[in-house]
Amino acid sequence: MLLHDRSTTAGAVLGVVAIVFLVGQQLAVMFGLFTLMSALVDNSGADIWILSQNSNNTSTAGDLPARYVDRLAGLADIEWAQPVIYSGAQLKLPSGRSQSVQIVGTTRPALEGGPWRMAAGSSDVLLEYDGATVDKLDLADLGNPKVGQVVEVNGKRIRIAGYTEGSRAFGPTVVFVNSTKAREITGISADRCTNILVKLKPGVDIRRVRAEIRELLPKASVLTVSELAWNIRVYNFTNTGIGSSFGFSTIIGILVGVVIITLTMYTNVLNRQRDFAVLRALGARRRDVFAIILFQALTIGAIGLLIGFFLLAGFLFGVKGSRLPANLPLWLPPAHALLTFLLCFLGSVLALRRALKIEPASAFR
């Protein structure tokens, strides 16, 4: 039974919508960023990454001897191993200013760890000496280079040979080139690389091979792709403002919602004291009053969830394919719904306390 009149119900529903939408949107963007952070690793096609000694994520990694690749050749469970070069660089814009980019140099002819999705054509354009790809979503940042246009990175010329679509990462704009061009740009010598990507044969126990590689290369850091992806997310989450900023706005969203629910529920009980007293006089027990308030809170929660999820779906749909990354892991909406109901209950605690104190005799005053 709803004792709420429509305007107070609407107010409380608004609180829930605030929680569901604001928090959901924050989380979607956060998970979108998570995906973006480890995109280069997740989409590298490799199972194991080798980094310089003592580094547990790509941001803190140095470089490695490229001959490590040859040492791995003796392991039967490995399908391929390829050196890759990741490095920051400066791209010169037509305006004369420069733009930070992330150079990814993939080894010819296999081009492992290269772009994983092209807007058109094939990544084979990277086989050409000066061929480079950039992402469609990043074109504006790079001064809208046309295909075929030559631009300078760290003073070296590259030719935009194709556009990728969604082959992007967190941080500076990714520019894919081949490893020869990457060495030219970054100055990393032919006998060094920054990472080695390792692909295992199907059905091989990844932990065992990881242990074997660690034994073989004691002066390198050997991580599975999922370990590395996790490390990168943790690193970025804690070492950039992302963690605190998203944590903050999520908490604000929750607080705003709880405060609105609490205020509307509490005000409603205050305004409806007489109604509750009358119900008590007519035979409602305390537990019935409890049930009424709880039912009210859950109803508000359910309506708010419905509207909130609807808005959230609209948001996700709207930003799909845009520069704003957003995605919700499947487990999140149910968890979010549970949290919302919990908060609705929390928001009604004060109202509940007040309502349970109302004496039936006060109906006659």
- For the chain, the distance separating the N- and C-terminal CA atoms, rounded to the nearest angstrom, is 24
Measured from the CB of residue 273, what is the shortest distance to other proteins in angstroms?
Answer: 12
In the complex, least distance from residue 302 CB atom to other proteins, rounded to whole angstroms: 18
Residue 160 or 289: the one with the smaller Cβ distance to other proteins is 289
Q: Which amino acid is present at 105?
A: G
Cβ-contact 59, 232 below 8 angstroms = yes
Bridge partners of residue 213, in order along the sequence: none
Q: Smaller CB distance to other proteins: residue 331 or 364? A: 364
| Cβ 261 vs Cβ 86: under 8 Å | no
Q: Which of residues 284-313 bind other proteins (CB under 8 A)?
A: 284-288, 291
Q: Which residues on neighbouring strands pair with residue 64, listed in sequence order? A: 193
CB of residue 141 to other proteins, shortest distance in Å: 55
Nearer residue to other proteins within complex by CB, 9 or 58? 9
Residue with tokens 């290369």: 217
Tokens coding 202: 């199907």
The contact mask relative to other proteins for 38-67 (x = CB under 8 A, - = no) is ------------------------------
> Three-class SS of residue 65?
strand
The residue count for binding other proteins (CB under 8 A) is 24
Q: Which of 1, 251, 259, 270 binds other proteins (CB under 8 A)?
A: 1
Strands 78-92 and 98-106: antiparallel
Shortest distance, position 358 Cβ to other proteins, whole Å:
12
- Write the CA distances from 186 to 109, 191, 247, integer angstroms: 20, 13, 36
Least distance to other proteins, CB of residue 167, Å: 56
Shortest Cβ 11–other proteins spacing (Å): 14
Contact between 363 and other proteins by CB under 8 A: the answer reads yes
Other C-beta atoms lying within 10 Å of the C-beta of residue 85: 26
By CB under 8 A, tell whether 3 contacts other proteins: yes
The residue (of 335 and 361) whose beta carbon lies closer to other proteins is 361
For other proteins, the closer of residues 132 and 277 by Cβ is 277
Phi, psi of 138, rounded to the nearest 5 degrees: -100, 0
250-289 residues in contact with other proteins (CB under 8 A) are 274-275, 278-288
Spatial contact of 191 and 66, defined as CB atoms under 8 Å apart:
yes
**Closer to other proteins at the Cβ: 246 or 290?**
290
Interatomic CA distance for residues 17 and 302, integer angstroms: 10
Site for other proteins in 331-360 (CB under 8 A): 360
Q: Which is nearer to other proteins, 157 or 286 (CB)?
A: 286
Structure-derived torsion over alpha carbons of residues 8, 11, 13, 18, reported in degrees to the nearest 10: -160
Interface residue list for other proteins (CB under 8 A) = 1-5, 274-275, 278-288, 291, 360-361, 363-365
